[in-house]
Amino acid sequence: MTYVLQILTDGVAQGSMYALMAIAYAVIQGNLGFVTFGFGDTIMMGAFIGAYYAFAAFGGNIYMALLSGFIGCWLLGIIIELICYRRWPNGPRQIWLICTIGFGTTMRSGAQVIFGMDQMFVPDAFTEVWTVGGVRIMAMQTFMILLLCILSACIWFFLKKTRTGMQLKAVSMDKKAAALSGVDVRRIMVLGNSLGCALGGVSGVLLGIYYNSVFATMGAGVGMKGFAAAVIGGLSSIPGAALGGLLLGILENVGVAVTSTGWRDIIAFTLLIFVLLVRPSGLMGRKVGEKI
């Protein structure tokens, strides 16, 4: 029983990082309507900015590392919106797809040139480990779970209860109608994309500190995991995206414990396919009525 609880604890901790990535996807793609396939490389940039450079510059202060990753990727989100979305605000989604793939590839290749191909070591932020009923709980794991709860609540409140959040939702539904209603569509598009990228930067900081390393190609795999978690939970739902990330982390850890590490990605994307077959809108996503 202790072994099972340990697996679940580690799964929830890992899933909290997936959940933050999924929430970022839900903001950018589910609530704003943008298509993005360079998001994994945004996470990688957040890891380098916050977990590697800022974390060391501020003497191992994780709060300054998270703030640096948030701000750095917020600014990166402004650049992405300017290059990939602004010229085609109502254009075909394949243009957004191609532009974000190209921008992400440029970031990844640039990181390989600037930072190199080797993994870079990141020290621990918290060294405390508690044992409860035979289950080892790391202070870093507890911190990540609490941060997920706080950020999830804040983002949900922002989207559902604030004027700007409702404007963001209106822009995702119909940009022309939102503009006719007095919404500054361009400002909302920049805000939404920057917020999603900033959350991705935070998840990158946590990823780098939790696994004690960052490297230039780390974004490809984790970006797809975040996307899978968002789709599983429901791209239109912030709580659903968080649930999808937690579920994905738990099932991955259970699957690896039962089989081997080679099954990690197989389990993740098999779950994605199953959910899409059974409930295409995700576990908590809203169903879209068929147009007649």
The overall longest dimension of the chain from CA atoms, in Å, is 61
- How long a stretch of residues is the chain? 292
The reported pLDDT for the residue numbered 255 is 86
- Under DSSP, is residue 123 helix (H, G, I), strand (E, B) or coil? coil
Sequence-ordered list of residues with C-beta below 8 angstroms from that of 71, at least 6 positions apart, any chain: 198
- How does residue 71 score in pLDDT terms, banded at 50, 70 and 90? very high
Q: Rounded distance, CA 2 to CA 133, Å? A: 7
Sequence-ordered list of residues with C-beta below 8 angstroms from that of 114, at least 6 positions apart, any chain: none
Cβ 119 vs Cβ 55: under 8 Å: no
- How does residue 91 score in pLDDT terms, banded at 50, 70 and 90? low
The reported pLDDT for the residue numbered 20 is 93
- Which of residues 9 and 260 earns the better pLDDT score? 9
**Residue 221 CB: number of other CB atoms within 10 A?**
13
Which residue reads 């450079």 in tokens? Answer: 53
pLDDT at 288 over 60: no
Cβ 228 vs Cβ 248: under 8 Å: yes
Q: Among 20-29, 170-179, 190-199, where is mean pLDDT lowest?
A: 170-179
**Of 79, 98, 109, 102, nearest to 35 (Cα)?**
98
| CA distances to 27, 71, 137, 182, 246 from 235, in Å | 8, 24, 31, 27, 15
pLDDT tens column, 226-257: 888 999 988 888 889 999 999 999 998 888 88
- How does residue 290 score in pLDDT terms, banded at 50, 70 and 90? very low
User: What are the domain boundaries of the chain?
Assistant: 20-218
The reported pLDDT for the residue numbered 272 is 87
The reported pLDDT for the residue numbered 234 is 87
**Of 31, 288, 22, nearest to 173 (Cα)?**
31
Sequence-ordered list of residues with C-beta below 8 angstroms from that of 29, at least 6 positions apart, any chain: 35, 36, 230, 235
pLDDT at 18 over 70: yes
The reported pLDDT for the residue numbered 287 is 62
Quote the percentage of the chain above a pLDDT of 90.
44
pLDDT at 289 over 50: no
Q: What is the mean pLDDT of residues 194-221?
A: 92
The reported pLDDT for the residue numbered 262 is 78
Dihedral sign, Cα of residue 259, residue 265, residue 266, residue 269 = positive
Helices (H), 26-92: 39-46, 55-57, 62-80
Q: What is the mean pLDDT of residues 36-53?
A: 91
- How does residue 107 score in pLDDT terms, banded at 50, 70 and 90? very high
